[in-house]
Amino acid sequence: MRSTKRYLQGCIYRHEPVVQQSSCGAAQPAARARCCFSLQVEALRQDAGRLQSDNSQLHVQLIQAKEQQAASGKDTYQEAKRLEGRIAELAFWKQQAQQQLQQADRDNAALRQRVAELVAMADQLASGTRRPSATVAGGVLGVTCHAPCTACGAGKGPPRPPRTRPPVAPGAVHAAA
């Protein structure tokens, strides 16, 4: 039986005519056609089963690839959003640093000008062309004295208010206020 089946399958794939002999050895065309047809159907069923199995595997692989792509896209999107936030934060800090630098440059320029004025004034004081009392009284320095100054009278502060309590005798008890 197996040798007959192999013979018939070989005939199908090689497209040769199948000759089946009866018990007496004569070829029967109807039996031959029926046998070829059943063998072809069986071969097509096997191919269909194999193709269906392959199709199922490919479908599963396609679903897995789409899920992996979606996860990768989600991760990429989140990373991009995180980096955009970081860029915005760094841009803010850059702007703050630039503003602080500009303010420091303005302060530096003002201090350099002030130092130049003070050096010029010191030179004038050293050469005797300017008097110290005129310098403080005229307010050229732009600084208020904090110690009592005889030249400008600054630093004395407002007068103190008079004491409201009379002095207490030694050994006397204070009344709670």
> Which of the two residues, 159 and 76, has the higher pLDDT score?
76
Q: What is the C-alpha to C-alpha distance for residues 41 and 35, in angstroms, rounded to an integer? A: 10
Question: Taking residues 141-167, what's their average pLDDT?
Answer: 56
In which domain, by residue range, is 46 found? 2-137
DSSP result, 68-131: HHHHHHHHHHHHHHHHHHHHHHHHHHHHHHHHHHHHHHHHHHHHHHHHHHHHHHHHHHHHTSS-
Is 171 contained in some domain? no
What is the rounded average pLDDT of the residues 35-63?
91
| CA dist., res. 100 & res. 95, Å (int) | 9
Closest to 133 (Cα-Cα) out of 141, 157, 117, 115: 141
The residue among 141 and 84 whose pLDDT is bigger is 84
Q: Is residue 72 part of a domain?
A: yes
106 pLDDT higher than 90: yes
Radius of gyration of the chain (CA): 55
- Structural domain count, the chain: 1
- Kindly state whether residue 58 falls inside one of the protein's structural domains: yes
Assigned domain for 156 exists: no
Hey, what amino acid is at 6?
R
Q: Which of 15-29, 46-60, 104-118 shows the lowest mean pLDDT across its residues?
A: 15-29
Q: Is residue 167 part of a domain?
A: no
If you search the block for the tokens 């992996």, which residue do you land on? 68
Q: With H, G, I as helix, E, B as strand and everything else as coil, classify residue 152.
A: coil
Residue 95 has which token pair?
């702007």
